[in-house]
Amino acid sequence: MKLESKLVIEVIKLKGIRKVIARRMSQSKREAPHVYYDIEVEMTAAKRLKEKLSEQGYKVSYNDIIIYSVSRNLENFPKFNAHIGDDELKIYKNINIGMVVGLEEGLIVPVIHNVDKKGLREIAKITKELVQRVKSGILKLIDYTGGTFTVSNLGMYGITGFHAIINPPEVAILAVGKVAEKPDVRDHNLVTHLSTNLSLSADHRVIDGMEAAKFLYSLKSNLENINDEYK
Protein backbone atom coordinates (compact mmCIF):
# COMPACT_ATOMS: atom_id res chain seq x y z
CA MET A 1 0.00 0.00 0.00
CA LYS A 2 1.35 3.40 -0.95
CA LEU A 3 2.02 5.70 2.01
CA GLU A 4 0.71 9.23 1.75
CA SER A 5 3.41 11.87 1.91
CA LYS A 6 3.35 14.34 4.77
CA LEU A 7 2.99 17.93 3.68
CA VAL A 8 5.20 20.17 5.82
CA ILE A 9 3.68 23.63 6.03
CA GLU A 10 6.46 25.25 8.07
CA VAL A 11 9.79 24.43 9.70
CA ILE A 12 10.58 26.38 12.85
CA LYS A 13 14.13 26.18 14.15
CA LEU A 14 14.35 26.18 17.94
CA LYS A 15 16.44 29.10 19.09
CA GLY A 16 16.71 31.67 21.85
CA ILE A 17 14.26 31.24 24.72
CA ARG A 18 12.44 28.32 23.09
CA LYS A 19 15.70 26.40 22.61
CA VAL A 20 16.67 26.94 26.26
CA ILE A 21 13.21 25.83 27.42
CA ALA A 22 13.37 22.67 25.30
CA ARG A 23 16.79 21.77 26.69
CA ARG A 24 15.91 22.46 30.32
CA MET A 25 12.56 20.66 30.23
CA SER A 26 14.09 17.62 28.54
CA GLN A 27 16.81 17.59 31.17
CA SER A 28 14.25 17.83 33.97
CA LYS A 29 12.08 14.95 32.73
CA ARG A 30 15.13 12.83 31.96
CA GLU A 31 16.95 13.31 35.26
CA ALA A 32 14.25 14.00 37.85
CA PRO A 33 11.74 11.22 38.63
CA HIS A 34 8.55 13.29 38.70
CA VAL A 35 5.73 12.26 41.03
CA TYR A 36 2.44 14.21 41.02
CA TYR A 37 0.09 14.97 43.91
CA ASP A 38 -3.27 16.70 43.52
CA ILE A 39 -5.54 18.39 46.05
CA GLU A 40 -8.69 20.52 45.91
CA VAL A 41 -8.66 23.73 47.94
CA GLU A 42 -11.67 25.84 48.91
CA MET A 43 -10.99 29.49 48.09
CA THR A 44 -13.86 31.22 49.91
CA ALA A 45 -11.59 32.79 52.55
CA ALA A 46 -9.16 33.90 49.83
CA LYS A 47 -12.03 35.54 47.95
CA ARG A 48 -13.13 37.43 51.08
CA LEU A 49 -9.58 38.68 51.65
CA LYS A 50 -9.21 39.63 47.99
CA GLU A 51 -12.47 41.64 48.09
CA LYS A 52 -11.58 43.33 51.38
CA LEU A 53 -8.21 44.48 50.05
CA SER A 54 -9.89 45.66 46.84
CA GLU A 55 -12.19 47.89 48.92
CA GLN A 56 -9.06 49.37 50.49
CA GLY A 57 -7.60 50.13 47.06
CA TYR A 58 -5.27 47.13 46.71
CA LYS A 59 -5.61 44.88 43.66
CA VAL A 60 -4.58 41.38 44.75
CA SER A 61 -4.99 38.27 42.61
CA TYR A 62 -5.60 34.69 43.68
CA ASN A 63 -2.13 33.93 42.36
CA ASP A 64 -0.65 36.54 44.71
CA ILE A 65 -2.45 34.91 47.63
CA ILE A 66 -1.19 31.47 46.61
CA ILE A 67 2.40 32.69 46.24
CA TYR A 68 2.15 34.31 49.67
CA SER A 69 0.78 31.10 51.23
CA VAL A 70 3.40 28.93 49.51
CA SER A 71 6.20 31.09 50.94
CA ARG A 72 4.87 30.67 54.48
CA ASN A 73 4.42 26.95 53.89
CA LEU A 74 8.01 26.56 52.70
CA GLU A 75 9.23 27.86 56.06
CA ASN A 76 7.90 24.65 57.58
CA PHE A 77 9.05 22.42 54.71
CA PRO A 78 12.63 23.58 53.99
CA LYS A 79 13.49 20.52 51.88
CA PHE A 80 11.09 21.82 49.20
CA ASN A 81 13.03 25.09 49.02
CA ALA A 82 16.14 23.56 47.52
CA HIS A 83 18.32 22.76 44.52
CA ILE A 84 19.67 19.34 43.58
CA GLY A 85 22.83 18.66 41.62
CA ASP A 86 26.25 17.03 41.74
CA ASP A 87 24.98 14.39 44.16
CA GLU A 88 24.01 16.95 46.79
CA LEU A 89 20.94 18.81 47.96
CA LYS A 90 21.28 22.50 48.77
CA ILE A 91 18.53 23.75 51.07
CA TYR A 92 18.17 27.53 51.04
CA LYS A 93 17.21 29.93 53.79
CA ASN A 94 16.05 32.54 51.26
CA ILE A 95 12.63 31.74 49.82
CA ASN A 96 12.66 32.99 46.22
CA ILE A 97 9.54 32.01 44.29
CA GLY A 98 9.45 31.99 40.51
CA MET A 99 6.15 32.55 38.70
CA VAL A 100 5.67 31.32 35.16
CA VAL A 101 4.75 34.01 32.62
CA GLY A 102 3.92 33.01 29.06
CA LEU A 103 5.10 34.90 25.99
CA GLU A 104 4.67 34.11 22.29
CA GLU A 105 8.29 32.97 22.09
CA GLY A 106 8.23 30.91 25.27
CA LEU A 107 8.01 30.90 29.04
CA ILE A 108 9.81 33.28 31.37
CA VAL A 109 10.04 32.65 35.11
CA PRO A 110 10.65 35.96 36.91
CA VAL A 111 11.55 35.55 40.57
CA ILE A 112 10.20 37.25 43.68
CA HIS A 113 13.10 37.26 46.12
CA ASN A 114 12.69 36.78 49.89
CA VAL A 115 8.93 36.29 49.58
CA ASP A 116 8.67 35.15 53.20
CA LYS A 117 9.80 38.62 54.31
CA LYS A 118 7.09 40.40 52.32
CA GLY A 119 3.43 41.06 53.02
CA LEU A 120 0.64 40.16 50.61
CA ARG A 121 0.14 43.71 49.33
CA GLU A 122 3.86 44.07 48.59
CA ILE A 123 3.90 40.70 46.79
CA ALA A 124 0.96 41.82 44.64
CA LYS A 125 2.80 45.02 43.72
CA ILE A 126 5.99 43.14 42.80
CA THR A 127 4.21 40.49 40.69
CA LYS A 128 2.52 43.19 38.59
CA GLU A 129 5.84 44.99 38.09
CA LEU A 130 7.59 41.76 37.08
CA VAL A 131 4.88 40.80 34.57
CA GLN A 132 5.08 44.27 33.05
CA ARG A 133 8.87 44.05 32.77
CA VAL A 134 8.57 40.60 31.15
CA LYS A 135 6.14 41.92 28.54
CA SER A 136 8.31 44.97 27.93
CA GLY A 137 11.47 42.87 27.63
CA ILE A 138 13.35 44.85 30.28
CA LEU A 139 14.05 42.19 32.90
CA LYS A 140 17.34 42.48 34.77
CA LEU A 141 19.44 39.38 35.50
CA ILE A 142 18.32 39.35 39.15
CA ASP A 143 14.67 39.31 38.01
CA TYR A 144 14.91 35.78 36.62
CA THR A 145 17.70 34.12 38.63
CA GLY A 146 17.97 32.66 42.11
CA GLY A 147 14.58 30.92 42.24
CA THR A 148 14.16 28.14 44.81
CA PHE A 149 10.54 27.10 44.09
CA THR A 150 8.15 27.79 41.21
CA VAL A 151 4.40 28.43 40.90
CA SER A 152 2.75 27.92 37.50
CA ASN A 153 -0.83 29.17 37.11
CA LEU A 154 -2.95 28.47 34.01
CA GLY A 155 -6.29 29.15 35.67
CA MET A 156 -6.76 32.41 33.76
CA TYR A 157 -7.00 30.31 30.58
CA GLY A 158 -9.76 28.11 31.98
CA ILE A 159 -7.46 25.17 32.76
CA THR A 160 -8.90 23.29 35.73
CA GLY A 161 -5.75 21.33 36.53
CA PHE A 162 -2.44 20.17 35.08
CA HIS A 163 0.93 18.67 35.99
CA ALA A 164 3.94 20.94 35.52
CA ILE A 165 7.54 19.96 34.79
CA ILE A 166 9.97 20.85 37.57
CA ASN A 167 12.18 23.85 36.83
CA PRO A 168 15.74 22.50 37.34
CA PRO A 169 17.68 22.52 39.60
CA GLU A 170 14.64 23.01 41.86
CA VAL A 171 12.99 19.96 43.43
CA ALA A 172 9.29 20.87 43.18
CA ILE A 173 6.78 23.04 41.35
CA LEU A 174 3.15 23.91 42.13
CA ALA A 175 0.59 23.98 39.31
CA VAL A 176 -2.57 26.05 39.88
CA GLY A 177 -5.87 25.60 38.09
CA LYS A 178 -8.90 27.85 37.62
CA VAL A 179 -10.68 29.23 40.68
CA ALA A 180 -14.36 28.46 40.07
CA GLU A 181 -17.66 27.53 41.67
CA LYS A 182 -18.06 23.76 41.90
CA PRO A 183 -20.98 21.58 43.02
CA ASP A 184 -20.74 19.69 46.30
CA VAL A 185 -22.99 17.76 48.69
CA ARG A 186 -23.01 19.05 52.26
CA ASP A 187 -25.45 17.93 54.95
CA HIS A 188 -27.36 16.04 52.25
CA ASN A 189 -27.86 19.25 50.24
CA LEU A 190 -26.42 20.15 46.85
CA VAL A 191 -24.45 23.38 47.16
CA THR A 192 -21.66 25.16 45.31
CA HIS A 193 -18.32 26.27 46.69
CA LEU A 194 -15.42 28.27 45.30
CA SER A 195 -12.34 26.11 44.85
CA THR A 196 -9.22 25.41 42.83
CA ASN A 197 -7.07 22.39 42.07
CA LEU A 198 -3.43 22.43 43.11
CA SER A 199 -0.92 19.91 41.79
CA LEU A 200 2.54 19.43 43.24
CA SER A 201 5.21 17.92 40.99
CA ALA A 202 8.01 16.63 43.22
CA ASP A 203 11.43 15.12 42.55
CA HIS A 204 11.20 11.65 44.10
CA ARG A 205 14.96 11.58 44.65
CA VAL A 206 14.41 14.19 47.35
CA ILE A 207 10.74 14.21 48.36
CA ASP A 208 8.72 11.12 49.21
CA GLY A 209 4.94 10.73 49.10
CA MET A 210 4.29 11.41 52.78
CA GLU A 211 6.28 14.66 52.70
CA ALA A 212 4.48 15.82 49.57
CA ALA A 213 1.09 14.99 51.07
CA LYS A 214 1.89 16.91 54.27
CA PHE A 215 3.12 19.89 52.24
CA LEU A 216 -0.10 20.08 50.21
CA TYR A 217 -2.36 19.47 53.21
CA SER A 218 -0.63 22.27 55.11
CA LEU A 219 -0.92 24.62 52.12
CA LYS A 220 -4.60 23.76 51.78
CA SER A 221 -5.16 24.62 55.45
CA ASN A 222 -3.29 27.92 55.07
CA LEU A 223 -5.38 28.97 52.08
CA GLU A 224 -8.72 27.87 53.50
CA ASN A 225 -8.11 29.82 56.71
CA ILE A 226 -6.38 32.91 55.35
CA ASN A 227 -7.71 36.25 56.63
CA ASP A 228 -6.87 39.95 56.80
CA GLU A 229 -4.17 39.47 59.42
CA TYR A 230 -2.03 38.07 56.58
CA LYS A 231 -1.89 41.42 54.77
Q: Is the pTM of this model over 0.75?
A: yes
Question: Which pLDDT belongs to residue 175?
Answer: 98
Tell me if residue 42 falls in helix, strand or coil.
strand
Query: Which pLDDT does position 188 carry in this prediction?
Result: 72
* Confidence (pLDDT) at 14: 63
Cα separations (Å) of 33 from 161, 204, 205, 206, 208? 20, 6, 7, 10, 11
Half-sphere exposure of 4 (CA within 13 A, CB side): 3
Distance CA 55, CA 202 (A): 38
Terminal CA-to-CA distance of the chain, rounded, Å? Answer: 69
Distance CA 68, CA 64 (A): 6
CA distance 166 to 222: 23
How far out from the chain centre does Cα 158 lie? 16
Rounded Cα distance, 80 and 37, in Å: 14
pLDDT of residue 186: 75
Amino acid at 58: Y
Domain spanning 36-230 has what CATH number?
Answer: 3.30.559.10
Quote the CA–CA distance of 77 and 169 in Å, as a whole number.
17
List the chain domain ranges: 36-230
Catalytic residues: 204
What integer pLDDT is reported at residue 4 of this predicted model? 59
Q: What is the pLDDT along the chain (231 residues), one digit of tens a residue?
A: 555 566 777 766 766 666 776 777 777 778 789 999 999 999 999 999 999 999 999 999 999 999 999 999 999 999 999 999 888 999 999 999 999 998 777 788 999 999 999 999 999 999 999 999 988 888 888 898 999 999 999 999 999 999 999 999 999 999 999 999 987 777 777 777 899 999 999 999 999 999 999 999 999 999 999 986 555
